[in-house]
Structure 1
Amino acid sequence: MAALGEATYNDEQFNTVSEGQATILFPKNNEVFYNPVQQFNRDMSIAAIRTWRDVVAEERWAKTLKKEGKTIDEAKAAGETVPVFKPKILEALAASGLRSVRYAKEIPDLDHILCNDLDPEAVESIKRNVAFNNLSEELVRPNLGDAKIVMYQHLMPKDHYHVVDLDPYGSASPFLDAGVQSVSDGGLMCITCTDMQVLAGANFTETCFTKYGGMPLRGEFTHEMALRLLLGAVHTAAAKNKRYVEPLVSCSIDFYIRVFVRVHVSPIEVKKTASKLSLVYLCQGCKSFVLQPMGKVTVTTSENGKETTKYGLSTHHAGANCAECGSNFHIGGPAWNAPLHSKPFVKRMLAHARANAANYGTSKRMEGMLTVIGEEVDAPLYYTLRALTTAVHCNSISLIDMGSALANAGYQFSVSHANPIAVKTNAPQHVVWDVIRAHVKRGPAKEPAEGSIAAKILAKEITTAVDFKFHKASNPPSRKIKLVRFQENPEKNWGPKARAGKKRKANADAPAQPKRGKKAPKTEPAAEQDIAEDALPEDAAMAEDDQ
């Protein structure tokens, strides 16, 4: 008999899997099995929630101390400590309950967790796992219900949840409106989307637009574009309810994306919505890109120091054709054009991950990803070395040389956590190409064909003082220490799994499969993102898809 907590279960009926401090039961006769690749998702979520909880506790304390005429530093010097803040968490699509059980056991001082799922068998699994982990149903509350209806039942401020976690099979877009309204002012939303065929490709453009309100682009920056489309959709959903979002950490991970955003109530900030969204013009020749904001914000200061803010229409500046090679544009978006991350939050979350490395099974990868994210330049999208050099048919250029040239010219440079050969910079487009033009002049290169894209780019005069002398900004700390900076295949045939017990044709809602070096086997066991629920009846499965 399996017996972790007070509850016991027949070993012949259930297998057990341990992750973090949780041990989960799941039936042996079910096709569903545990997907260890998703442990990183859950580890990052716990670290993000704990970091956010500490930030909010300090913010609340600072407000209280301000009324008393004191600061946090003065209070700490007097021996006072931050009051305990007990957040309420809603996991809207819980499946087996693994995530909620881990939250309950690894995040101290929680008020309670509402662990919801649409499927009755999944709710029974949640109850079984709560009992097996010796947790009370007062702390982890199993709930049977449609995710959207449950969230809409918590619209009143007194009923809001401090954290709303959305981790569906496929797209989170159907749940965004309810989610942004059920979270408290300053609360945290944790959102996963696995439909990368929609967000990061060009085969389901109409599906992407209907789900996220923006068009995808098949460019080198496709995974960051996916993040920006999702953030644009979340921000637009929030703005309809006089709210705005503050991205804390936005991650492109394996076969999905995961964002952590704070939702604030502020009608004034909502007026900036259009200026935080841009159309993206992608050149079909050299793959350059131009962002066209949907709106603009103008701040003027009078002689007496009074600031006036005006909101208006943006002026078109992308041009009819690419300024570098003259090719036509494809237009994507609108997508989020503001920062993907809060650097102070990332720094604090990284410190937490390092201090609690023993508690996270994927701590090395957490440290690596958060370090790279902390180094990223706050500029939308990125080029890649491959695309830049391919456009002019020249030898490759190293990241060190590219970064040094940009830094020596006075601009910022970094790679991206989404692509190890990315060139992320705040330099104007012509400066980036000036560096490539100068690189071509350094060594032997074939004469480009007359009228070709390469010829048009190289014919332009170099107007930037390009210096390839080594600059320290080209070799950030993450490159100097041994970190798991980018994804490595964790196991054979890893990736998203099909819905339990169902065989479906490839479609726009299916999670994208990662590329593999070898041909995948003809059949694979099915699994959910966490330890998925038992196979749903056909009508229940479709109902969950349409929630």
Structure 2
Amino acid sequence: MSNSSEPLAGANLETSPAAGQTVTHKGVQYTTIKEGRAHILVPPNAKTEVDPRSSGKDSGENAQNVFYNPIQQFNRDLSVLAIRAFAEDFSARRKERAQGKKKNQDRNAKKKKAKAEKGDQGSAVVETKDISHSKEETSATQSATRATDAGSSDQTATGAGEQGKDVPQPPIVESEGSGNAKKRKSEEMNEHAEEVKKQKIATNGLAGDEGLATTDEARDHTTTTGTSKAPEDNVLNPAKAAALPKGQRPDDKLRSHLRILDALSATGLRALRYASELPIPTQVVANDLVPAATNAIKLNVSHNRLTHAITATTSNAQAHMYSAAFAFNEHAYGRYDVIDLDPYGTAVPFIEPALLALNDNGLLCVTCTDAGVFNSMGYLEKTYSLYGGIPVKGFHAHEAGLRLILHSIATSAAKHGLSIEPLLSLSIDFYARVFVRVRRSPADVKFLASKTMIVHSCDSGCGSWALQPLARTSTQVGKKGGEFHKYHPALTAGERNCEHCGFKTHLAGPMWGGPLHNPWFIGRVLGLLPQVDDEVYQTTSRIEGMLSSALEELEVVSALNPESGVDSENEVTKKPKGAVNGKRSKDEEPPAEPASPKLTTGDEVPETAHTNPDTKANNNGKGHEPTLGLIPAVPPTIIDSHPFYFQPSALSGTIKCQAPPEAMIKGALRHMGYTATRTHAKPGMIKTDASWAVIWEVMREWVRQKAPVKDGSLKETSAGFRLLYPDGKKEAEGVDADGEEGEKMEVDGEEVKRRDGNGKGADDGKRRKVVFDEVLGRDRPTKRLVRYQVNPRANWGPMTRAKG
């Protein structure tokens, strides 16, 4: 924030906003804070940080009646870029929908024209037959007239008419041609009514915010132009639009602007940034429950000159979103394309109304700051009541917290036939932030049970875990060759005692078991970074580092990573030489520069689109073939079979040995053919597709080759002793003392039974050579990335709740 200069001292609300500016409005002085392209007005002594050592008194600072936390600028920068990437997908889908609608209209018009021409030909034939009938009727009438009494000359015309009733008339037969003529007349009347309705809609859309055109104006416009021209933007005054009959409201699916709801707006900073920084035309509703906050929003909107794009409302966020979903009133004109939930604490109470208030393929942005609930075991009863699952105890609690939040969103959506697709899920500082695409698809909802899992966590022993899906999905082939899905209950996978150390396990979950991210969405956001101004987005370096780490996490999901060395049967296969995570022989030179993760912008056809059978089954064999601008969807059948991450230093603490470097453990796993990457959630962690049996095998080799354990440091009843000496200490000592058996174990692929803590065989019954290749395990991207946050200042954190 820059210091205010002398020319800015006497600024008012009409003055162009600038950072550090002092603005006087209605006798109150405000200080201007700039973030992005938005400027907000705050009292001069407003709190922007909280000292935890203070006694709780304001000590010269004003009470915080409007919430603003500068530490969350990363959250807001990321949100703007994520919505911008989504807006490109939004525009492409609207364009595709409009083109499809035009094709359907042209097709229907051709059918009606062909039908009308066929009907005209039938009418011509019927008209010839009608002329013959008329001649016969005339002759019969003349004969009947001659047959009457010629003497009654004074007979009145009425009497003649009555006598004529006794003459038999030819039956009136409704021919096929006349029926088609009536049907055509009815169709023409319906077409005319539809055309009038379209003209009214188009004219109303042209009216814009100034109001709706009258019927006479609409008629004059139609007469002048001859056709109904589609408006560029159906932005209507909500109150006047609500007065329209249901069939005359603008076509919401074809409008060009983006509708965003900032449901808990506080100062309106997010709404200001969305309205000023998104390239697509945007209409933002900034809502807050506190009137003081709404007044601050209106003040900031006016100062930023965005009254045409932002509407401030004072209402309960849940009631507002329910009214947007089910009503059509002055507070909410239709549903929203993007809804941002950024409460102080949990967002769970707002999730269901937000899902209902979203349009199909809408974006839901959720922030939860109650990390003490979803990231720890301190309040597990509260976690279950809010998120519907039990948290995890251990170093992987951050990812488990994300999966609990996604589970809460997915189950709320499934009740209404809505499926979710996580585009980006991040654990950031003291909060979690997820971006979820919501679509109406009852068919995709059926996969939710197979993407929901329970975790058997050995939190009191070795720290390992076992996964238990609630259901499983299989692909069947029908009699005619088509594929369909069947849904089955899952077999029990977990045990009461840990299979590695024998300690008791505890349950966690249920939680989301699918992928946390969409790789094409991340690639689209990363592709925007070179285009943005670093002065506007001051956290781009951290955004790039965190998203790159999140993209690397997806390497363990084999369906999203075609280069993965793990096939569908979880069998390890050798990778090509020279790959970053591939297996390298002794004679091969280490790669000079390991390839960085492949980034995609979303415009390319994904490689898995044509090779993944789940994708083929889900799209009737068509696969994912996105058009320009569309972000491909992750197939709903894909599950993440290797969630969570482990900490090498925590494993070394279990067996009481020297902690291995991260690069050495990753190099050993990669040498064995597994994928090993870092995670965005926490530094020093490793995410891999190797099983826990393989991980503990690597740790035992680390002790044997690099860091032997001191005698007496492990009790025989401890988890570390059972892990380090699975078959008894005497046999293990013989291995260490002799060395010959150790050399045998290093033979690659030797048919030696590998045993874990309870004596069971490991993955494939073969012992592989464990080589701690630090060069292979070291990630060296083309540029240095800021992957993890350092403390930006003293006393940073969530601050205190606003009081209004």
| TM > 0.5 | yes
- Counterpart Cα distance in 2 of 1:496 and 1:484: 22
Higher mean C-alpha deviation, range 105-114 or range 339-348: 105-114
**Residues 519 and 551, structure 2, Cα contact 8 Å, conserved in 1:** yes
Give the CA deviation at 1:318: 1.0
- Counterpart Cα distance in 1 of 2:93 and 2:675: 32
Task: Name the structure 1 match of 2:716.
Answer: 450
Choose which of 91, 104, 114 in structure 2 pairs with 1:57: 91
What is the one-letter code of the residue matched to 2:770?
D
Task: Name the structure 1 match of 2:359.
Answer: 184
Give the CA deviation at 1:326: 0.6
CA RMSD between the two structures: 2.2
C-alpha offsets along residues 276-315 of structure 1, whole Å, 9 cap, x if unaligned?
1111111020010111111111112246532131112111
Task: Name the structure 2 match of 1:491.
Answer: 793
Give the CA deviation at 1:67: 7.8
- Counterpart Cα distance in 1 of 2:688 and 2:285: 42
Cα–Cα, structure 1 residues 472 and 51, in superposed 2: closer, same or farther, change >3 Å? Answer: farther
- Counterpart Cα distance in 2 of 1:473 and 1:171: 42
Task: Name the structure 2 match of 1:527.
Answer: none
Choose which of 24, 43, 61 in structure 2 pairs with 1:9: 24
Task: Name the structure 2 match of 1:465.
Answer: 768
Task: Name the structure 2 match of 1:115.
Answer: 286
Give the CA deviation at 1:62: 4.4
In the alignment, structure 1 residue 427 sits paired with structure 2 residue 443:
no
Give the CA deviation at 1:217: 1.7
Task: Name the structure 2 match of 1:149.
Answer: 319
Cα–Cα, structure 1 residues 67 and 12, in superposed 2: closer, same or farther, change >3 Å? Answer: closer
C-alpha offsets along residues 484-530 of structure 1, whole Å, 9 cap, x if unaligned?
11010011110011113xxxxxxxxxxxxxxxxxxxxxxxxxxxxxx
Cα–Cα, structure 1 residues 84 and 63, in superposed 2: closer, same or farther, change >3 Å? Answer: closer
SS of equivalent to 1:375: helix
SS of equivalent to 1:53: helix
Task: Name the structure 1 match of 2:34.
Answer: 18
Give the CA deviation at 1:205: 0.6
In the alignment, structure 1 residue 195 sits paired with structure 2 residue 459:
no
- Counterpart Cα distance in 2 of 1:424 and 1:344: 20
Higher mean C-alpha deviation, range 422-431 or range 51-60: 51-60
**Residues 434 and 466, structure 1, Cα contact 8 Å, conserved in 2:** no
**Residues 57 and 84, structure 1, Cα contact 8 Å, conserved in 2:** no
SS of equivalent to 1:41: helix
**Residues 151 and 179, structure 1, Cα contact 8 Å, conserved in 2:** yes
TM-score (norm 2): 0.58
SS of equivalent to 2:684: strand
Give the CA deviation at 1:66: 6.8
Choose which of 321, 328, 349 in structure 2 pairs with 1:174: 349
Task: Name the structure 1 match of 2:667.
Answer: 404
Higher mean C-alpha deviation, range 250-259 or range 308-317: 308-317
What is the one-letter code of the residue matched to 2:306?
L
Task: Name the structure 2 match of 1:80.
Answer: none
Structure-to-structure mapping, 1:315-326, within 5 angstroms: 315-326=491-502
Cα–Cα, structure 1 residues 85 and 369, in superposed 2: closer, same or farther, change >3 Å? Answer: farther
Structure-to-structure mapping, 1:234-383, within 5 angstroms: 234-283=409-458, 284-302=460-478, 304-358=480-534, 359-376=536-553, 377-378=556-557, 379-383=642-646
- Counterpart Cα distance in 2 of 1:302 and 1:471: 50
- Counterpart Cα distance in 2 of 1:207 and 1:275: 25
**Residues 413 and 473, structure 1, Cα contact 8 Å, conserved in 2:** no
Structure-to-structure mapping, 1:129-168, within 5 angstroms: 129-136=300-307, 138-156=308-326, 159-168=334-343
- Counterpart Cα distance in 1 of 2:680 and 2:353: 30
In the alignment, structure 1 residue 31 sits paired with structure 2 residue 31:
no
Give the CA deviation at 1:458: 1.8
Task: Name the structure 2 match of 1:517.
Answer: none
In the alignment, structure 1 residue 41 sits paired with structure 2 residue 92:
no
Task: Name the structure 1 match of 2:391.
Answer: 216
What is the one-letter code of the residue matched to 2:496?
A
Give the CA deviation at 1:388: 1.4
**Residues 87 and 280, structure 2, Cα contact 8 Å, conserved in 1:** no
SS of equivalent to 1:52: helix
Cα–Cα, structure 1 residues 416 and 84, in superposed 2: closer, same or farther, change >3 Å? Answer: farther
**Residues 435 and 466, structure 1, Cα contact 8 Å, conserved in 2:** no
**Residues 431 and 464, structure 1, Cα contact 8 Å, conserved in 2:** no
Give the CA deviation at 1:68: 8.5
- Counterpart Cα distance in 2 of 1:272 and 1:440: 43
Task: Name the structure 2 match of 1:528.
Answer: none
Give the CA deviation at 1:259: 0.4
**Residues 357 and 363, structure 1, Cα contact 8 Å, conserved in 2:** no
- Counterpart Cα distance in 1 of 2:433 and 2:356: 20
Give the CA deviation at 1:373: 1.0
Task: Name the structure 1 match of 2:7.
Answer: none
- Counterpart Cα distance in 1 of 2:770 and 2:13: 63
- Counterpart Cα distance in 2 of 1:251 and 1:84: 32
**Residues 40 and 366, structure 1, Cα contact 8 Å, conserved in 2:** yes
- Counterpart Cα distance in 2 of 1:271 and 1:340: 19
Higher mean C-alpha deviation, range 378-387 or range 411-420: 378-387
- Counterpart Cα distance in 1 of 2:650 and 2:31: 48
Task: Name the structure 2 match of 1:98.
Answer: 269
Give the CA deviation at 1:65: 5.6
- Counterpart Cα distance in 2 of 1:62 and 1:14: 47
- Counterpart Cα distance in 2 of 1:248 and 1:477: 26
**Residues 13 and 302, structure 2, Cα contact 8 Å, conserved in 1:** no
- Counterpart Cα distance in 2 of 1:336 and 1:140: 35
What is the one-letter code of the residue matched to 1:353?
L
Give the CA deviation at 1:133: 0.6
- Counterpart Cα distance in 2 of 1:13 and 1:218: 49
**Residues 171 and 195, structure 1, Cα contact 8 Å, conserved in 2:** yes
Q: Report how many residues are paired.
A: 487
What is the one-letter code of the residue matched to 1:295?
A
**Greater RCO between the two (CA within 8 Å, min separation 6)?**
1
SS of equivalent to 2:419: strand
**Residues 13 and 24, structure 2, Cα contact 8 Å, conserved in 1:** no
Give the CA deviation at 1:27: 2.5
- Counterpart Cα distance in 1 of 2:720 and 2:320: 56
Cα–Cα, structure 1 residues 181 and 329, in superposed 2: closer, same or farther, change >3 Å? Answer: same
What is the one-letter code of the residue matched to 1:236?
T
Structure with more of its chain in strand, by fraction: 1
* Structure 1 runs not aligned, ≥5 long: 70-82, 501-534, 537-547
* Structure 2 runs not aligned, ≥5 long: 1-9, 17-22, 46-61, 104-253, 328-332, 558-641, 727-753, 756-765
- Counterpart Cα distance in 2 of 1:57 and 1:474: 42
Task: Name the structure 2 match of 1:481.
Answer: 783
C-alpha offsets along residues 442-483 of structure 1, whole Å, 9 cap, x if unaligned?
1322243323211211223465414325387733355x6322
Give the CA deviation at 1:5: 4.6
Give the CA deviation at 1:87: 1.0
Task: Name the structure 1 match of 2:607.
Answer: none
- Counterpart Cα distance in 2 of 1:255 and 1:153: 32
SS of equivalent to 1:420: coil
Give the CA deviation at 1:117: 0.2
Cα–Cα, structure 1 residues 357 and 418, in superposed 2: closer, same or farther, change >3 Å? Answer: farther
C-alpha offsets along residues 306-357 of structure 1, whole Å, 9 cap, x if unaligned?
2131112111111121110011111111111111100111111111123214
